[in-house]
Amino acid sequence: MKIPLGELTPEYLLDIKGTEAWLAPLYESFQSSNPDDGSINLLKGDFKLELEAAGTVKISGFLEYEPMVDCGRCDKKIAWPLATNIKTRFYEPTPPEDQAKAHDLSEGEMDAYYIEANQVDVLSVIIDAINDKLPNHLVLKTEDGEHCQICLEKIGDQVYEDPAAADSGPFAALKNLKTPH
């Protein structure tokens, strides 16, 4: 959702129910329907956007979502509940004459958001927050921490492998390479 700066006087409150049409790209990125029962996991959240004197836009709020992701152990779809606070700023874009100057980025510039066409893109902040909260290796473990809750296999045992992928790629070519030894 892109909110024009003109609507941010003095602040803009955004209550997300999860059924908003502008969330469609999010639901396409993360499967939101549970394959077991067909229920839809909707994003919910509350945000406050404030236009600051310096021309920046401060966004603060909270979101909850339970995307369906692939288990890192058995490759089946699992619901991964997450909740996070969001606090970030959108900055005015750098003028073109200043863009050509090389400089080291500050910590604030590394993950900065910028106002584009006098609009603030709230959806990009939401998607980034979800991606930041998902761990690199997604496995729902049993209480003992040794088994996958989905397939009940021991975590340390053989991990899911796609047979089609094993027959292609650079390592498959190296495997068939004959060397004189």
Give yes or no for residue 115 having a pLDDT over 70: yes
Q: Tell whether 152 is covered by a domain.
A: no
Backbone angles phi, psi at 77, to 5 degrees: -70, 135
Query: Could you read off the pLDDT of 8-31 as tens digits, one per residue?
Result: 877 889 999 988 999 988 888 877
Domain that includes residue 71, residue range: 2-136
Q: How far is CA 173 from the centre of its chain?
A: 34
Q: Tell whether 160 is covered by a domain.
A: no
pLDDT band at 62; cut points 50, 70, 90: very high
Query: Could you read off the pLDDT of 156-180 as tens digits, one per residue?
Result: 655 555 555 556 666 666 666 666 7
Q: Tell whether 181 is covered by a domain.
A: no
Specify the pTM.
Answer: 0.69
Task: Report the number of distinct structural domains present in the chain.
Answer: 1
CA dist 18 and 46 (Å) reads 11
Q: Tell whether 156 is covered by a domain.
A: no
Q: Give residue 96's identity as a one-letter amino acid code.
A: P
Structure tokens at 82: 């997450």
Whether the CB-CB separation of 92 and 115 falls below 8 Å is answered with yes
Q: Tell whether 177 is covered by a domain.
A: no
pLDDT at residue 105, as a whole number: 62
Work out the percent of the chain whose per-residue pLDDT is above 70. Answer: 66
